[in-house]
Structure 1
Amino acid sequence: MPIPLDVLEKVFEPYWRPVTSVPGGGLGLGLYICKQIVEAHGGTLEASSSVADGTCFTARFPFGQ
């Protein structure tokens, strides 16, 4: 099942976890930290999710800087 758009928009927020998370499933910091690292290097981190393609996280970094 794809991640709903309203949930997908929140996955990079610190300490955010979906209501379906099980206790002990994490602090909600992993994707936030990943995004901070990517942005510190001048890049972007995006997420998309669909039935056809599944869930995809894409990191893009500038070339030659």
Structure 2
Amino acid sequence: PNFRKGTEIVANAIADSEAFSIAGGGDTLAAIDLFGIADKISYISTGGGAFLEFALYCKTD
């Protein structure tokens, strides 16, 4: 509840962006569901910690 408004503003800004968007992690997915914006997120991972580790350490070259 303390961070709901800020989370909603950031989530909607990402959802409304034309950029490719990626979301993962339990709290993030709960917020996406709460705000009803899942259809506006390009890729949603249910991998939780594994997804976050991949995103941190993935090499693109």
Q: Is the structural similarity TM-score above 0.5?
A: no
The structure in which a higher percent of residues are strand is: 1
Higher Rg: 1
The structure in which a higher percent of residues are helix is: 2
- What TM-score do the two structures reach when normalised by structure 1? 0.28
- What TM-score do the two structures reach when normalised by structure 2? 0.29
